[in-house]
Structure formats: structure tokens, C-alpha cells
Amino acid sequence: MRILIVEDEPEMRELLGQLLEADGYEVETVSDSAGALAAVAVREPDLVLLDVVLGGEDGRDLLHELRLMGNAPAVFLTGRGLEMDRIAGLRMGADDYIVKPFSPGELSARIANVLRRSRATNVQPRQSESSVSFGDLRIDPLTREVERAGELVELTAKEFDLLAFLASSPRQVFSRQQLLQQVWSSCREWQDEATVTEHIRRVRRKIEQDPDHPRWITTVRGVGYRFEPGAGSPIGYDRRRHLVRAS
């Protein structure tokens, strides 16, 4: 498992690196937001551990940026143990919070716990009979797998949620605001409609043959997006437009 540490103080950065390496993780350390964004884009860490105070930068702004890029869980480090900070941080979308000073045992336990939860939501047993298919696109809500023309498409958790939600109501148009509410459902404070636009772009790049002329997820100008089931009846949908078992 790869962990990215974002901390501007060299001593703390080194200490965190040593502790997590001792736990068997592959560790990369950076000192600022620019370094963090570059590292996430290239290395796709399994978890990001970031300090709330990054010199002149605010770690919460960085977390917002990271959330637009993907779904690696994030753990905040903070020297301020006030309850208000804790709540604000979690509402910002951090998966956990570690207050300095912390013990090595607490760090290990919290990191392991967040990674375990993250794996539990991303990996589920294969039950292919539950999938629904539209032409050569197959969506399986139980295994959270998507195949295009028989090939597995790698989607992040939120990309899958977005596609599955749109596909569960074919041809129904959803505004970005509705999608934020339905797919992201919480943390409205830090999520803006650009989050939806960016995720739509990413999903299209992965499932569309020509992302510039999408066939599955179309834009309804001035309104939002909808899933186009294509010609013929989709397999596995009932009239109530919910995902159901395909026989």
C-alpha cells in the first residue's frame, strides 16, 4: 500500500515517513500542495496523510483539490485538538483526524483502520448475475465492476457511484446539483458543481469510445446529464427504473 505524506515541517515529515515505513507501507513525502497534487496524479497513493497547516497553505484547500482528482482516503494531521476543528475537518471530507502529539501506535491504528474501511467499500465479492447490460456496457452494482466490450473498466468509487446512479434512471436528466445531492450526498460545504463536471469527464474518458461525442452519458444543455440506454430494452431494468437482477 502506498501512502503520501504532505507536511511542511521537515522533522515531522521524516518521523511520519519512518513510522509508516516501519509499518510496511511504501511512503512518499512532499512538503506542499503542488508536490502533493503532482504525486497523486503520478503515483495514485492508497491514502494521503496531510497536515492542516502547510506553511502558508491550508491543508483543507488541498483536500478539496485532491477530492476532485479521485477517491484515495485522506487523514488530516493537526496540532489543534479543538472539537470544532475536528468536526470541520471531517465535514470537509477527511476520513479521519490525528491530533499532534500522537503516539506511533495511534498513527498505525488509525491509518490501518482507514485503509481497511476503504478496501471494504471498494472490494466486494463477485456476483455476476446481478449485473445490468446496455449493449456492450455492463454494470454490476454488487461487485461494483463495469465492463465495456468484455473488458474491465477501472473506475474510482465515486466514478462508479455516478455512473450507476445515472444508469439506474435511464434517460432521466439530472442537474449537477441533484447529482451532488444524490451521489455525494454530504459535505456540501466543500463540493461544488465542478466536482460533478470533472467526474463526468473522467467517466466518459473511461467508458466512451469517443469521449468528445459521448454515447452513454449525454449533456442536456443548460440542464444536466443523462444516461442513454440505447436502442432496445436494457437487460435487467424494470419499469420502475431501478437496478434489478438480470435473469
* 213 CB burial (10 A radius; 0-12, 13-18, 19+): exposed
Window of 46-54, 147-155, 174-182, 207-215 that interacts with Ca ion by CB under 5 A: 46-54
CB of 59 to Ca ion, least distance (A): 8
- DSSP state string for 200-214: HHHHHHHH-SSTTS-
Asked if residues 243 and 234 have their Cβ atoms less than 8 Å apart, the reply is no
Q: Facing residues of 58 across strands?
A: 53
Residue from 1, 15, 37, 53 touching Ca ion (CB under 5 A): that is 53
Min. distance of Cβ 77 from Ca ion in angstroms? 8
Sign of CA dihedral 158, 41, 63, 5: positive
The dihedral through the CA atoms of 162, 163, 169, 171 has a sign that is positive
CB of 7 to Ca ion, least distance (A): 6
* Options 49-57, 89-97, 122-130, 181-189: segment touching Ca ion (CB under 5 A): 49-57
Closer to Ca ion by Cβ: residue 52 or 167: 52
- Site string (179-198) toward Ca ion, x via CB under 5 A: --------------------
Among 1, 2, 8, 85, binds Ca ion (CB under 5 A): 8
Interface with Ca ion (CB under 5 A): 8-9, 51, 53
